Structure 1
Amino acid sequence: MSEENNTVTINLDGDDVQVTAGANLIEAVAPHGKEIPHYCYHPKLSVVGNCRMCLVEMGMPMKDRATGEPILDENGEVKIGWMPKPVIGCGTNVAPGMHVRTDSELVHDCRNGVMEFLLVNHPLDCPICDQAGECGLQEFALDYGRGYSRFVEEKNVKPKQVELGPRVVLDDERCILCSRCIRFCQEVADDDVLGFVDRGSHSTLTCYPGKSLENNYSLNTVDICPVGALTSKDFRFRMRAWFLKETPTICSESSVGCNATVSSREGVVHRITPRRNDAVNDTWMTDSGRSLYKEIDHKDRIRSFRVGSKEVSVSEALEAATNLLGSSKVALVGSGSCSVEEQFSLKKISDYLDAPTYLAGHFGEEDGLLLSADRTPNLRGALATGLISKYPSDNLKSLGRRLAKGEINTLLCVREDLLDVGLTPTQLKGVRIVYLGTLENQTSRMAKVVLPALTTFERSGSFINLQFRLQKFLQAIPGPAGTLPDVFLLNQLLAELRKEPATPFSMDEIWTEMGKRRGSILKGFTFGEIPLDGVLLDPGKFRAFPYVERKNLHFNLSDFRKGSNTSSQQAT
């Protein structure tokens, strides 16, 4: 074993390769271009060896039991003692000197036999199945299937279109009994509701009596189902997988910052699925986080620029906003839902106007997994950019007192409903509001100037999650006609306030400027250089702040305070 990188040498199909010591064989051989087909195995779940699709030949160097010396063959080579029968790759961890055959005639015969058994009772639903195009059964049937069936008896009939819960539908004829969904509910979601009933080819997946699959992680069972047995009600029969464009994004539901993928076609988002990041969310995300895309076509979506009740052009709206902000006693209300780049732009406006900035926290109960107590994705970004210097409370009472005294008469409010964060209609009476937001609310209806904002799916930017991990998200679809990115509007507004001509800018220019700020923890980056799995920042002075999060999948507050940003153990 190499002590430096914790690797061992194994012989893989005749070639010596370096693999991670103790790694699961399926995972170990993948970087070397070898695929061991599998259905029941999942890297984040326990090993059960149900499907037998991952059979390989395995042997170890033979040693003399008396002396411990290697036994040599007639050619002077170390003799390999092969197992008398193939072994399952998912249940095998690599060891020094191990010999593995993944492409032998015996292995192919085994896989052909397993595929034939799996397809005996499987319906020919591919033309109407949601999983078509990304189905493991299709892929491996092409590689290892016979191309014809020797089964002439009638196939078993099982329940179809069974609602296991409010979001998941089961077609049991397609189920290959891999048990991934059962293990997920037991081991990750901690909601043991699924199980098999009956025996043999009559085995059926079902919920336990009196229970249903309704936890906030139920759609992960659809993601990990290797066939089309479990489908999402929202995505069912909506779109073929091969038509979808996939764009990396970050879930904005809470400060966990789950990595996700937006699947869209022709400007329409059809689904959100988790993207693997072993340091943040493994391969999971919440059901509630997936539904955030519905905000795009919400009936209360703000789609135009307004001054009063009149729809105006971008330039007219910015001019009106400039007139209000440039000659008043102004305060800014920022948001933990803004990106790092937007918060920095707000900071520049605040500095120019010498205006105080307020930010309300949005807090709730955490579930110990992927829904944290901080219900905003980028409160840490507000600290890192200097938009705020103290950890916020869940209201704006201090701003309310200043409004009541008449010290402030104009507000630039971004993505917040002021009446939901502690202010009252009496305090806001006579206050002139410039509002930048996505949905109509009480604040937008009171505002003198309204600027439409884009959703996370319609713009690019970055968030800093509860670990102080900087992660970027990319624009998946265009915003409503005539709208512009929030960061562009804020920089245009700043140029108008300064009475300077607006100049083109890029995200990298914003990052260069952020890095020049004294004491900034955002030095040394450009937007393009941020990797898709994020980069961990040094929290520095922010480590001791009174954060509301306690323990999540890869975060433990006590460890964070000691200097360890992540917890490798799942919260219980």
Structure 2
Amino acid sequence: DGKPVINWIPRPQISCAQDIAEGMGVKTDSPLVRECRHGVMEFLLINHPLDCPICDQAGECELQEFSVQYGNGGSRFREEKVKKPKHVVLGPRVTLDDERCILCSRCIRFMKEIAKDDVLGFASRGSHTYLTAHPGRVLDSNYSLNTVDICPVGALTSTDFRFKMRVWFLKETKSICTSCATGCNTIVGSRQNVIYRQTPRENDDVNSAWMCDYGRLNFHFVNSKDRLNEPQIRSGSTLENVNWNTAFGRAVEELKRYQPDEIAVIGSGRMTNEELWLTKKLIDGLKVTHYDIVPRTGEADDLLLNTDRNPNTNGAKLLGVSSDEPGVKLRRIIDGVSSGQIKAVVVLHEDLTQAGLSAPSLEQLGALIVVSILPNETTKRATILLPGVSFAEKRGTMINAKGRLQRLNRAIQSPGNAHEDWEILRDLVQQLTGENGVYLIEDVFKQMAENVPQFEGLSISKVGDLGVRLLGVAEAAPA
């Protein structure tokens, strides 16, 4: 090709150990490269077990894919394979099969450099080298399951997902995590209306390619057999199933019995912007001044987990359902209910007994209208109970702690006769005020875009898979 041979390093280089330099020439496909890859694959497969039929990584295994491309049809190795530990519990959420490990050290480097918990390492020498936790240490970091994601084979497996479902059967839906205000981008893996796993989706403006274990595993409640799936109204000491029209009619009837200063509306920082917009319409339609969301906080870390455990506090503030300090009005509402001044409460996806209200105080209310997905101490005392949907069963948008607008996508269908929350709120507003004209979630977003300057020019489709900057807060993603 006219280039002197001296311009090229005479021997092949390991790409992951090579620094990039200006003017560097790289050959990734040549007879020598193919021969090297062929040889490396033969060495990797010498002691590798034939676990593919039972391995969780089958279907998304890099070793499997490369062995098809560069491997032999059979092995020339006639010696006995080296045996290593199997089914090793490294921590509460990760199980190790050392025979499958190809000693790439990705997990070791992640725990040391990203998670800042230097807990993993190699032991022994030569072909007997194996991965393990350091003596006296346990892989219990809140980011331990990221090692499962980056493991190129099935050596590190999620104890929660292990042997549950073949990955090629999973329907993958792009969404976001709703366990805190960071809003990590996710892929929800589901089949036949059951969620099996949640994995991080790369977004350099939010979570890079990582996700905390707390958020990743916070989906099992969606699959609960206790899910509420029929609207109910109270008859004496019991709740009876009714149709939606009857439930809405009774709700409006109960609310109209009270003056605006006797009614409170309590929303949730877990609701989408579209739901919060309609919640504000309900508040305005009732002319109430007692409204707020329930603040939810926890310990943060230096990587992703935010101290605000509500995923859409910024949305609640922007759309007027919460003040700049969530919970300020809530304390006055609790006092009003306890004193008997407030006689009717609309509760959206919150358990008020966890927010400071006692069960006897709830029982003395003349009307307690609750939207929820699971039974709790508040739903037990509801006069009207309306079944809503979870984060995985709805579409909509949220604003994370850094002011980024992101969207949820529906991964599975809601159970029974449960309705999406925006539809419930729309129908309540319609029966209270006569206002109509909203038939799709896109219509709700369009109303926000026409009335809230920050949403101007946007639509749900324009938000895209990676979101858009909305509130102009400086962003910084993890390395």
Q: TM-score, normalised by structure 1?
A: 0.79
- Among 272, 277, 288, the alignment partner of 2:203 is 277
| Distance in 2 (alpha carbons) for counterparts of 1:117 and 1:192 | 29
Give CA deviations for 1:93-119 in whole Å, capped at 9, x if unaligned.
444432221111111111111111101
- Among 202, 206, 224, the alignment partner of 1:298 is 224
- Shift of residue 430, structure 1, vs aligned partner: 2.3
Are residue 101 (structure 1) and residue 52 (structure 2) matched? Answer: no
- Among 459, 484, 497, the alignment partner of 2:432 is 497
Which position in structure 2 is the counterpart of 1:418? 352
- Shift of residue 135, structure 1, vs aligned partner: 0.3
What amino acid does structure 1 have at the position aligned with 2:215?
Answer: G
Are residue 327 (structure 1) and residue 257 (structure 2) matched? Answer: yes
| Distance in 1 (alpha carbons) for counterparts of 2:149 and 2:330 | 41
| Distance in 2 (alpha carbons) for counterparts of 1:464 and 1:140 | 41
- Among 245, 248, 260, the alignment partner of 1:318 is 248
Are residue 164 (structure 1) and residue 90 (structure 2) matched? Answer: yes
What amino acid does structure 1 have at the position aligned with 2:42?
Answer: E
2:97–2:156 CA contact under 8 A, matched in 1 = yes
Are residue 147 (structure 1) and residue 73 (structure 2) matched? Answer: yes
- Shift of residue 299, structure 1, vs aligned partner: 4.9
Give CA deviations for 1:405-434 in whole Å, capped at 9, x if unaligned.
544211111011112112234543422210
Are residue 428 (structure 1) and residue 358 (structure 2) matched? Answer: no
Are residue 232 (structure 1) and residue 188 (structure 2) matched? Answer: no
After superposing the two structures, state which structure 1 stretch, 256-265 or 388-397, moved more: 388-397
- Shift of residue 79, structure 1, vs aligned partner: 8.4
- Among 50, 63, 82, the alignment partner of 1:137 is 63
- Shift of residue 190, structure 1, vs aligned partner: 1.8
For the aligned residue pairs, the C-alpha RMSD in angstroms reads 1.9
Are residue 391 (structure 1) and residue 325 (structure 2) matched? Answer: yes
In structure 2, relative to structure 1, the CA distance for the partners of 1:265 and 1:404 (3 Å cut) is: closer
| Distance in 1 (alpha carbons) for counterparts of 2:116 and 2:212 | 14
- Among 379, 397, 400, the alignment partner of 1:462 is 397
After TM superposition, list the pairs within 5 Å mapping 1:321-400 onto structure 2. 321-328=251-258, 329-356=262-289, 357-393=291-327, 396-400=330-334
| Distance in 2 (alpha carbons) for counterparts of 1:128 and 1:78 | 51
What amino acid does structure 2 have at the position aligned with 1:566?
Answer: E
- Shift of residue 401, structure 1, vs aligned partner: 2.9
- Among 210, 225, 229, the alignment partner of 2:136 is 210
| Distance in 2 (alpha carbons) for counterparts of 1:485 and 1:96 | 55
What amino acid does structure 2 have at the position aligned with 1:321?
Answer: A
Secondary structure in structure 1 of the residue aligned to 2:186: strand
Structure 2: gaps of 5 or more residues:
none
What amino acid does structure 2 have at the position aligned with 1:312?
Answer: V
Give CA deviations for 1:428-487 in whole Å, capped at 9, x if unaligned.
342221000122111111110011111111111111100000110100000101111111
Secondary structure in structure 1 of the residue aligned to 2:371: strand
Which position in structure 1 is the counterpart of 2:449? 515
In structure 2, relative to structure 1, the CA distance for the partners of 1:172 and 1:252 (3 Å cut) is: same
What amino acid does structure 1 have at the position aligned with 2:271?
Answer: C
1:468–1:537 CA contact under 8 A, matched in 2 = yes
Give CA deviations for 1:509-531 in whole Å, capped at 9, x if unaligned.
1111112225x312111112211
2:179–2:215 CA contact under 8 A, matched in 1 = yes
Are residue 477 (structure 1) and residue 412 (structure 2) matched? Answer: yes
- Shift of residue 568, structure 1, vs aligned partner: 4.9
| Distance in 2 (alpha carbons) for counterparts of 1:314 and 1:78 | 80
Are residue 444 (structure 1) and residue 353 (structure 2) matched? Answer: no
1:362–1:394 CA contact under 8 A, matched in 2 = no
What amino acid does structure 2 have at the position aligned with 1:510?
Answer: V
| Distance in 1 (alpha carbons) for counterparts of 2:328 and 2:56 | 43
In structure 2, relative to structure 1, the CA distance for the partners of 1:448 and 1:273 (3 Å cut) is: same
Secondary structure in structure 1 of the residue aligned to 2:53: helix
| Distance in 2 (alpha carbons) for counterparts of 1:292 and 1:192 | 26
1:334–1:346 CA contact under 8 A, matched in 2 = yes
| Distance in 1 (alpha carbons) for counterparts of 2:55 and 2:363 | 57
Which position in structure 2 is the counterpart of 1:63? none
Secondary structure in structure 2 of the residue aligned to 1:264: strand
Give CA deviations for 1:278-299 in whole Å, capped at 9, x if unaligned.
1111111111212222111335
After TM superposition, list the pairs within 5 Å mapping 1:245-284 onto structure 2. 245-284=171-210
What amino acid does structure 1 have at the position aligned with 2:471?
Answer: D
Secondary structure in structure 2 of the residue aligned to 1:103: coil
**How many residue pairs get matched?**
470
What amino acid does structure 2 have at the position aligned with 1:505?
Answer: Y
| Distance in 1 (alpha carbons) for counterparts of 2:165 and 2:476 | 38
| Distance in 2 (alpha carbons) for counterparts of 1:395 and 1:165 | 43
Which position in structure 1 is the counterpart of 2:53? 127
| Distance in 1 (alpha carbons) for counterparts of 2:44 and 2:217 | 34
Secondary structure in structure 1 of the residue aligned to 2:303: coil
Which position in structure 2 is the counterpart of 1:244? 170
| Distance in 2 (alpha carbons) for counterparts of 1:522 and 1:387 | 16
| Distance in 2 (alpha carbons) for counterparts of 1:156 and 1:79 | 41
Q: TM-score, normalised by structure 2?
A: 0.94
| Distance in 2 (alpha carbons) for counterparts of 1:166 and 1:129 | 20
Which position in structure 2 is the counterpart of 1:175? 101
Which position in structure 1 is the counterpart of 2:475? 566
| Distance in 2 (alpha carbons) for counterparts of 1:209 and 1:399 | 53
Identity of aligned residues (%): 45
Give CA deviations for 1:241-260 in whole Å, capped at 9, x if unaligned.
11111001111110011111
Secondary structure in structure 2 of the residue aligned to 1:127: coil
Greater RCO between the two (CA within 8 Å, min separation 6)? Answer: 2
1:396–1:422 CA contact under 8 A, matched in 2 = no
After superposing the two structures, state which structure 1 stretch, 386-395 or 360-369, moved more: 386-395
After TM superposition, list the pairs within 5 Å mapping 1:52-63 onto structure 2. none
2:304–2:478 CA contact under 8 A, matched in 1 = no
- Shift of residue 234, structure 1, vs aligned partner: 1.7
| Distance in 2 (alpha carbons) for counterparts of 1:125 and 1:258 | 33
| Distance in 2 (alpha carbons) for counterparts of 1:124 and 1:456 | 39
Which position in structure 2 is the counterpart of 1:286? 212
Secondary structure in structure 1 of the residue aligned to 2:275: helix
| Distance in 1 (alpha carbons) for counterparts of 2:323 and 2:305 | 25
2:121–2:131 CA contact under 8 A, matched in 1 = yes
Secondary structure in structure 2 of the residue aligned to 1:126: coil
- Shift of residue 342, structure 1, vs aligned partner: 0.5
